[in-house]
């Protein structure tokens, strides 16, 4: 069995582009964009970074 190198950044960019396309289609067909709701419990700095990054990424794809 040989190893396969996966470019995580390129794969993530491809997925975000696909999601952006789906978001655009939903906006056009339904008239409203999908959204993301997050409930953050506690004050874990790593969780806060994770949630902040998810928020930024949803804006990037048009949500």
Per-residue pLDDT of the chain (63 residues; tens, 9 = 90+): 899 999 999 999 999 999 999 999 999 999 988 999 999 999 999 999 999 999 999 999 999
Name the burial class of residue 51, with classes exposed (0-12), middle (13-18) and buried (19+) by CB atoms within 10 angstroms of its CB: middle
Tokens 């949630």 belong to residue:
51
Give first-to-last CA distance, the chain, whole Å: 41
Q: How far is CA 35 from each of CA 27, 38, 41, rounded to the nearest angstrom?
A: 11, 10, 20
Tokens 């409930």 belong to residue:
39
Q: What is the pTM of this model?
A: 0.75
- Spans of all domains in the chain: 8-61
């Amino acid at each position: 069995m040989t190893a396969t190198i996966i470019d995580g950044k390129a794969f993530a960019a491809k997925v975000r582009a696909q999601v952006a396309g789906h978001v655009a289609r939903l906006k056009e067909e339904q008239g409203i964009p999908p959204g993301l709701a997050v409930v953050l419990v506690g004050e874990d700095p790593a969780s806060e970074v994770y949630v902040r990054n998810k928020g930024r990424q949803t804006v990037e794809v048009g949500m």
